[in-house]
Amino acid sequence: MPVRIISTRERVTAFLEGEIDHHSAADIRMDIDSALMQYKPNLLKLDYGDVTFMDSSGIGLIMGRYRLVQSFGGKVLVTNLSPQIYKIMQLAGLEKIAKISKREDVNSADNK
Amino acid sequence: MQIINEFRMTVDSKSINEGFSRAAVAAFVAQLDPTLDEISDIKMAVSEAVTNCIVHAYPTSVGKIYIYAAILDGGTVKVSIRDKGCGIMDVRQAMEPLFTTLGGERAGLGFAVMESFTDKISVRSVLGKGTTVTLYKKINGRAAV
């Protein structure tokens, strides 16, 4: 499973795992959207702590979820980003639609 | 520039091969002892180019994607990703950030990512014949860090 989801009425939290590309994004999208449609939360939190790779399909994934969450007045929060993925999200201007934040321990994973 | 080492492979335009293609190119480039950031940049650029072949070049059928990688004198990596798909009507427009013919789940950032994470990119496309994207990136390697 590339995504694990914990849902309440206030918040849907999706823990993404592994590599996010055009191939894996389809399943992730379906799982998150079914939780969003069921709970219509105020907040969608996407946790990238266990994501090892992402290309622009991951940007499309966030943009698509933003549109859905916005349609019932919610917000999107993207957390635990590696420096590399944070850089792509900035490049894409995602800060305009979601609050994005880097991983706490930035020293270990990326330059071993 | 002189070619030090090269490899070629052909994969079907199936989305499961996106991960395989970028991993294969990354494994080939590993002989230059790249940093994790350099490897990640190459994987991302290759992933974008291969995804374009799957999503755009062969939208309704499965075709072949021809991948070639070479290590050039001085530590530059050249990767070309070629398809025999539908071709791009207007390459300049296709390369504009956020431009996409598909909308919805596609961000329109494929070429922008390729440009940002490599040193040079060239795109040749003929309608009805196919597209070749060639990427160049100098690998400084871990010794330089």
Quick check: B105 and A61 CB within 8 A?
yes
pLDDT at A83: 87
Which one of the listed residues B18, B38, B52, B82 is annotated catalytic?
B52
DSSP A14: E
CA–CA separation, B104 and B107 (whole Å): 8
Quick check: B107 and A92 CB within 8 A?
yes
The region, left, alpha or beta by phi > 0 then psi within -120 to 50, assigned to residue A69 is: alpha
- What are the backbone dihedrals phi and psi of residue A51, each rounded to the nearest 5 degrees, phi first? -90, 125
In chain A, % of residues over pLDDT 90: 79
DSSP B102: S
CA–CA separation, A14 and A35 (whole Å): 9
pLDDT at A112: 38
Whether residue A22 lies within 8 A of chain B, CB to CB, comes out as: yes
Close Cβ partners of A42 (under 8 Å, ≥ 6 residues apart): A10, A11, A73, A74, A75
Report the top-level CATH class of A3-111. alpha beta
Q: Please confirm, yes or no, whether B106 is among the known catalytic residues.
A: yes
Q: What residues of chain B lie within 8 A of the CB of A112, using their CB?
A: 36
Closest CA to A46 of A92, A85, A86, A3: A3
pLDDT band at A110 (very low <50, low <70, confident <90, very high): very low
Chain B residue with Cα closest to A110: B36
Nearest Cβ partner of A22 from B43, B44, B51?
B51
CA–CA separation, A77 and A57 (whole Å): 18
Q: What residues of chain A lie within 8 A of the CB of B43, using their CB?
A: 53
Q: What residues of chain B lie within 8 A of the CB of A110, using their CB?
A: 36-37
Whether residue A17 lies within 8 A of chain B, CB to CB, comes out as: no
Looking at every residue in chain A, the average pLDDT score rounds to 90
Q: What CATH number is given for B3-139 in this structure?
A: 3.30.565.10
Compute the nearest-CA separation of A18 from chain B (Å): 11
- Residue ranges in chain B whose pLDDT is less than 70: 103-104
Give the best residue of A17, A19, A20, A22 to mutate against chain B (max B CB count within 10 A).
A22
In chain A, % of residues over pLDDT 70: 92
Chain B residue with Cα closest to A88: B113
What number of C-beta contacts closer than 8 Å exist between A and B?
68
Q: Please confirm, yes or no, whether B48 is among the known catalytic residues.
A: yes
Instruction: Measure the CA angle with vertex A53, ends A70 and A37; round to 5°.
Output: 25
A20: pLDDT strictly greater than 90: yes
Give the best residue of A32, A53, A56 to mutate against chain B (max B CB count within 10 A).
A56
Quick check: A21 and B105 CB within 8 A?
no
Summarize pLDDT for A53-98 with one digit per residue, the tens: 999 999 999 999 999 999 999 999 999 999 889 988 988 889 999 9
- Residue A76 or residue A111, greater confidence: A76
